[in-house]
Amino acid sequence: METTTPTRATTGEFKPGAGFGTLFKLLRRVRSWAGNAFLAAYAVATLYPLIWLFISSFKSNQDFFGKPFALPSTWQFENYAKAWKVAGIGTALGNSVIVTFLSLALTLLAGTLAAYILSRLSFRLKGLVMALFVLGMLIPIHSTLVPLFIMMKKIGILDTYAALILPYTAFELPVAIFVVAAYLTSVPKEVEEAAMIDGNGYWGIFFRVIFPLSVPAMATVAILAFLRFWNDFAFALVFINKQALKTLPLSLAVFSDGFGTDYSLTMAAMSIAVIPTVVIYLVFQEQIMKGMVAGAVKG
């Protein structure tokens, strides 16, 4: 933060002799340089697992076990083709995309609407409703497997996309609501009042004003929700029967037979699965950052 205000440094409260001035500037430069170096090192270290994943995906099983951290002795590009075929990644990818994006849309829409109401409007049962949503965040999802299964069977939506989309959305709603609500509390009341004066009803306020304003929060929720839906295994395992509808995490599991795992193919399949998540993250984080650049912070 200090680096961006060189002018401040020389015109700030400290006004010792010129010599000290340059010394401080130098120290500040060194500090920021060291800080940046540390950040860079941390970034590389944190990225390592991703790199490791990609490198491992080109190894044979022998290589993987023998030298897990070294470069592959031979680069097995065919791992990818084989993994794609054996795990049926093509179909699974398509299904994951459909399920995840529909759930995402539903979550963002219903969630932001509810967040707006819960954070800025008051009504009688508000406390109760909020508490209810908190409850949902606390339950380990495995305990709802059997009840959900029985219920969805009764409704008749098992083995369809809805069997995943609806529970996914429902479970992500509390998080979505809380994140967006917290964000909305810092929006000044004047904004709503101005919109009302312009002759908007509540729906107008929501769609024309609140929704656009909440983009950074929604982008945050989008990233978190996307990851949850894309990587879910438990629900997809139990609620979907048809091979044609199976999602990506399920297709990744075929490489282990309970007693041993074919890691070379698993790593390749996982590398394929990881790419969309990286892309989505980059896309949505731009949305978050756009708000920043739009003149807000100039630390």
Partner 1 sequence: MAAASRLRSFILVGLLPALLLYLIFVLVPIVWSAFYGFYEWKGIGAAKFLGLANYTEALRDPIFWKALKNNLIIVAASIFGQIPIALVLSLVLWKSSWFHRFVRSAVFMPMVLASVVIGIMWGYIYHPQIGIVNYVLDKAGLHSWIRDWLGDPKINMYAVCAPIIWANIGPYMILFIAAIQNISSEVEDAAKIDGAIGYKRLYLIVVPMIWDTIKVAIVLCISGSLKAFDLIYVMTGGGPAQSTELLATYMYNNTFNIFRYGYGSAVSTLIIVISMSLVLGSQLLMKRK
Partner 2 sequence: MMKKLTVVLSSVLALSTLLAACGEKQGGDNTSAGAAKSGAGSSKIKLSIWHNFSGDDLRAKAVRAQIEKFKQANPEIELDAQAIPPDGYRQRLKTVAAANEMPDVFFTQSGTSIKEYYEGGLLQPITPLLDKYPDWKNNFFQGAFDPLSFDNKVYATPLSASATSLFFYNKSLFDKYNVKVPKTWDELMAAVKTFKDNNITPISLGNKAAWLAQSSILSSLANRVTGTEWFLKAAKQDGAKFTDPEFVQALTYFKSLADAGAFQQGFNSLDNTQMEQYFVQGKAAMMIDGAWALTNMAASGTKEQLDQVEVTVLPAIPGGKGDPNTISGGAGGGLALSKNVTGKKLDAALELIYTVSGPEGMQAIAESNSLVNYNVKIDPAKVTPLFYKAYTLTQNVKFTPVYDAVLSSAGAEAINNGLQELLIGGKPEDIAKKLQDAQAKSIGK
Contact positions vs partner 2 (CB under 8 A): 61-62, 65-66, 86, 101-102, 105-106, 108-109, 145-146, 149-150, 153, 155-162, 165-166, 207, 211-212, 215, 233-234, 237-238, 241, 243, 250, 253-262, 265
Q: Which does 196 bind (CB under 5 to 8 A by kind): partner 2, partner 1, none?
A: none
Q: Which does 250 bind (CB under 5 to 8 A by kind): partner 2, partner 1, none?
A: partner 2
Closest CA to 277 of 144, 137, 150, 96: 96
Q: Which is nearer to partner 1, 23 or 151 (CB)?
A: 151
Q: Which does 160 bind (CB under 5 to 8 A by kind): partner 2, partner 1, none?
A: partner 2
Q: Which does 257 bind (CB under 5 to 8 A by kind): partner 1, partner 2, none?
A: partner 2
DSSP alpha helix (H) spans, the chain:
6-11, 18-56, 61-66, 78-86, 89-120, 126-137, 145-155, 162-184, 189-197, 202-204, 211-213, 215-231, 234-239, 248-252, 263-291
Q: Which is nearer to partner 2, 227 or 253 (CB)?
A: 253
Closest CA to 285 of 221, 229, 203: 221
Euclidean distance between CA atoms 211 and 193, whole angstroms: 16
Q: Roughly how many angstroms between the first and final C-alpha of the chain, as a whole number?
A: 6
Q: Which does 255 bind (CB under 5 to 8 A by kind): partner 2, partner 1, none?
A: partner 2
Q: Which is nearer to partner 2, 2 or 159 (CB)?
A: 159
Euclidean distance between CA atoms 181 and 49, whole angstroms: 34
> One-letter amino acid identity for 90?
G
Least Å distance, CB 46 to partner 1, is 5
Q: Which is nearer to partner 1, 18 or 294 (CB)?
A: 294
Q: Which is nearer to partner 2, 34 or 283 (CB)?
A: 283
Tokens of 214: 């909440």
